[in-house]
A and B are shown apart, each in its own frame.
Chain A
């Protein structure tokens, strides 16, 4: 077990390191350095000495490996630099925005699991019936519809039917939880629809497999109620791959939230990173990109560990493939 843990942590750490290198390279490849950006040079109004002074201050006149080590060193100490655009510390800006993103992600996942798993079970229990076909059609549609378009459609319908208007201020969860949930429910639905469809399909195919097993027939033969057969004997045994999917999708959700937040104008991390990238605000952009990628790596690592914990065979085999 210790060996399994160590191997997984090591591989996660190596991946994070490669992620940091890639982010670092992408930012350094951009033509025109941050000093030019900061001073608005190029028009010839800033002298070469002034530029050099700014480079000195930012530390970008040093060799690349030195810069990389300094950047990573600052990052692990939560010193993410200051935003070029706003002048505020990036760490503070992230801290102010992350709760919104996290809340939408959690709400989207709750919606997806609460509706998706029962839908999948229902479809598997009544295979070939109209309810199965209806659910299958809906899930195919849910997978094909782009999440930002779903978001736009939700806004269109809310405005048309309920005279909804976009909130001017998004209430933080800890100030008034209920208002916050009612405000963020729409972006959460838009973002979670795809995950809902995926979970429903996955649950259906796993339940179909499990319900064909011998022990299900045995359970039925000894006279257990149908509900007990399906939930206690069926779903419990099929839960492992479903839990895995939920874990991976939860991490992936942070990626799809960047566009949903823009559609709904939620001041979350996604909207922040897009503004930062578009305005070439490198300190902010590289910090958030690294953070989002880090969430995915750590999320996948946790799923692996949970998988190893739930299924002892994985520990011996090592990497699931």
Chain B
């Protein structure tokens, strides 16, 4: 009888966290990560609903309003063709985020596949794939992307491929390392002893354990892909006019723009910084939340 009396207050004392409360605690524990997530979410929403939000058509300029400074009519000013910079920024978010998410997801999926197989199978597959990955790592990321877009031609898909490829060896290296560290652990041995197939071991036991580091590098490469995409566009090897992207918005001679319209150069760069900062913060928070021991070894 006493047990039933005691049970009620004890269970009442342990707070059962609802989903909102859990989320609230995450936000309190990782304020910067929450900031990053919110900013990225806003950017994604702005990109999706660009036609509804953008005040002007991003491709059509007003020839009577060239190089307008930020004002009530044009919140962030206009560019050399009289196009509204805010509208171009919002439409540019589409390109930047599509390339960023596309390249980092694609690169990490392919890289993980290669890395896990190399770590698990070993043998000639490991040797050959590692050689190729090492060779790919030797190329400066931007140079490799530039070479690929020049071969494939500049288009959105090709830019995603070009920026995803340099991510492959970097993801493969991490996936391989964590597979190798898992493969001799007792729980894999136990799984094998109970008769698990290789596929089951890879999908049920290895992949979930490589998830944390890969999620962290996914956010890091999201930011990196956004920067490199802007660089490709800036060089004229990526997205082409009259489409809008953050890198494209900065092209033109900085020396002459300095005296006429410096905001044309400053504003898209701030947008890139904010996106990269947000994905870095989010990545840091995910790393701390999922695995406090994980080294800060990302570059």
Q: Contact at B150–A156, with CB atoms within 8 Å? A: no
Q: Contact at A165–B255, with CB atoms within 8 Å? A: yes
In the assembled complex, the CB of A156 is this many whole angstroms from the nearest CB of chain B, namely: 5
Asked whether B151 is an interface residue with its Cβ less than 8 Å from the other chain, the reply is yes
In the assembled complex, the CB of B130 is this many whole angstroms from the nearest CB of chain A, namely: 10
What is the interface residue range for chain B against chain A? 35 or more
List B contacts of A201 (CB < 8 A): 296
In the complex, chain B residues 208-241 whose Cβ is within 8 Å of any chain A Cβ: 223, 227, 230-231, 234-237
Asked whether B147 is an interface residue with its Cβ less than 8 Å from the other chain, the reply is yes
Contact with B along A126-154 (1 / 0, CB 8 A): 00000000000000110111101100110
With known contacts A148-B234, A166-B255, A153–B140 Cβ distance under 8 A? no
In the assembled complex, the CB of A70 is this many whole angstroms from the nearest CB of chain B, namely: 21
In the complex, chain B residues 28-56 whose Cβ is within 8 Å of any chain A Cβ: none
Q: Contact at A149–B235, with CB atoms within 8 Å? A: no
List A contacts of B258 (CB < 8 A): 155-157, 159-160
Cα A71 to Cα B258 in complex, Å, equals: 46
Cα A255 to Cα B146 in complex, Å, equals: 11
List B contacts of A280 (CB < 8 A): 150
Of A18-26, A88-96, A222-230, the one with at least 4 CB within 8 A of chain B: A18-26
Asked whether B57 is an interface residue with its Cβ less than 8 Å from the other chain, the reply is no
Q: Contact at A259–B135, with CB atoms within 8 Å? A: no
- Among B235, B236, B277, chain A packs the most CB atoms within 10 A around the CB of B235
Cα A18 to Cα B138 in complex, Å, equals: 10
Contact with B along A11-54 (1 / 0, CB 8 A): 10011101101100010011000000000000000000000000
In the assembled complex, the CB of B29 is this many whole angstroms from the nearest CB of chain A, namely: 18
Q: Contact at A156–B230, with CB atoms within 8 Å? A: no
Asked whether A278 is an interface residue with its Cβ less than 8 Å from the other chain, the reply is yes
Contact with B along A231-273 (1 / 0, CB 8 A): 0000000000000000000001011101100110000000001
In the assembled complex, the CB of B254 is this many whole angstroms from the nearest CB of chain A, namely: 4
Asked whether A289 is an interface residue with its Cβ less than 8 Å from the other chain, the reply is yes
List A contacts of B160 (CB < 8 A): none
List B contacts of A106 (CB < 8 A): none
State which of A16, A30, A205, A297 has its C-beta within 8 Å of the C-beta of B151.
A30
In the assembled complex, the CB of A87 is this many whole angstroms from the nearest CB of chain B, namely: 21
Asked whether A293 is an interface residue with its Cβ less than 8 Å from the other chain, the reply is yes
Cα A273 to Cα B235 in complex, Å, equals: 12
With known contacts A280-B150, A285-B147, A156–B254 Cβ distance under 8 A? yes
In the assembled complex, the CB of B95 is this many whole angstroms from the nearest CB of chain A, namely: 15
Q: Contact at A278–B237, with CB atoms within 8 Å? A: yes
Asked whether B110 is an interface residue with its Cβ less than 8 Å from the other chain, the reply is no
Q: Contact at A273–B151, with CB atoms within 8 Å? A: no
List A contacts of B272 (CB < 8 A): 146, 149
Cα A155 to Cα B140 in complex, Å, equals: 25
Q: Contact at A289–B143, with CB atoms within 8 Å? A: yes
Q: Contact at A159–B259, with CB atoms within 8 Å? A: yes
List A contacts of B189 (CB < 8 A): none
State which of A11, A18, A153 has its C-beta within 8 Å of the C-beta of B265.
A153
Q: Contact at A297–B139, with CB atoms within 8 Å? A: no
Asked whether B26 is an interface residue with its Cβ less than 8 Å from the other chain, the reply is no
Asked whether A121 is an interface residue with its Cβ less than 8 Å from the other chain, the reply is no
Cα A166 to Cα B257 in complex, Å, equals: 13
In chain B, what residue has the closest Cβ to A276? B150
Asked whether B299 is an interface residue with its Cβ less than 8 Å from the other chain, the reply is yes
Cα A160 to Cα B272 in complex, Å, equals: 23
Contact with B along A288-310 (1 / 0, CB 8 A): 01001110110010000000000
Cα A11 to Cα B131 in complex, Å, equals: 8
Asked whether B142 is an interface residue with its Cβ less than 8 Å from the other chain, the reply is yes
Cα A275 to Cα B55 in complex, Å, equals: 37
Q: Contact at B255–A255, with CB atoms within 8 Å? A: no
Asked whether A198 is an interface residue with its Cβ less than 8 Å from the other chain, the reply is yes
22 contacts between A and B (CB under 8 A): A15-B135, A16-B138, A19-B135, A22-B132, A26-B151, A30-B150, A30-B151, A141-B273, A152-B254, A156-B266, A157-B258, A201-B296, A255-B142, A259-B234, A274-B146, A278-B150, A292-B139, A292-B140, A293-B143, A296-B137, A296-B138, A297-B138
The 4 closest A-B CB pairs, nearest first, are A255-B140, A18-B135, A159-B258, A149-B269
